[in-house]
Amino acid sequence: MPLAAAPRLLAAVLLATAVSACSARYQNTVAVGGDDDDAVCQGRGYAQGSPEYVACRKDRDVQRNAATARADRRQRDLGEYMLNHPERP
C-alpha cells in the first residue's frame, strides 16, 4: 500500500466507526428482562385487550422511557463534567 493512501484509509475507518456508533445510539432499550412486551404481558396471564394487559403494556413503556431518560441524563452529565474539568482526561 502506498503511503499516500494510508491517510485516506484511516479517514475512511474513522468515519465508518463514527457512523456506526451514531446508528446504535437511538435504538430502543429493553425494559425488563429483554423480552417482547406482548410476550411478557401474555405470559403473565393477561388476555390481549383486557385492562390488565393494557396496564402491563403501559408499565413496560413507562419503564423503557425512564431508562432512556436516565441514559440521556447520564450522557449529558458526563459531557458537562468533561467540559467543566478539562484537566482530567
DSSP helix/strand/coil, 34: coil
Instruction: Calculate what percentage of the chain has a pLDDT beyond 90.
Output: 55
More confident residue, 5 or 64: 64
pLDDT at 74 over 90: yes
pLDDT tens-digit readout, 10-48: 777 777 776 666 655 556 555 445 569 999 999 999 999
Q: Is residue 14 part of a domain?
A: no
Share the mean pLDDT of the chain: 82
Q: Is residue 6 part of a domain?
A: no
Looking at the structure of the chain, the number of domains it has is 1
More confident residue, 2 or 87: 87
Tell me which residue of 33, 27, 85, 79 sits closest to 56, measured CA to CA: 33
Q: Is the pTM of this model over 0.75?
A: no
| Domain hosting residue 50, numbered range | 44-88
Number of other residues whose CB lies within 10 A of the CB of residue 47? 10
Amino acid identity of residue 67, one-letter, is: A
Sign of CA dihedral 82, 83, 85, 89: positive
Q: Is residue 8 part of a domain?
A: no
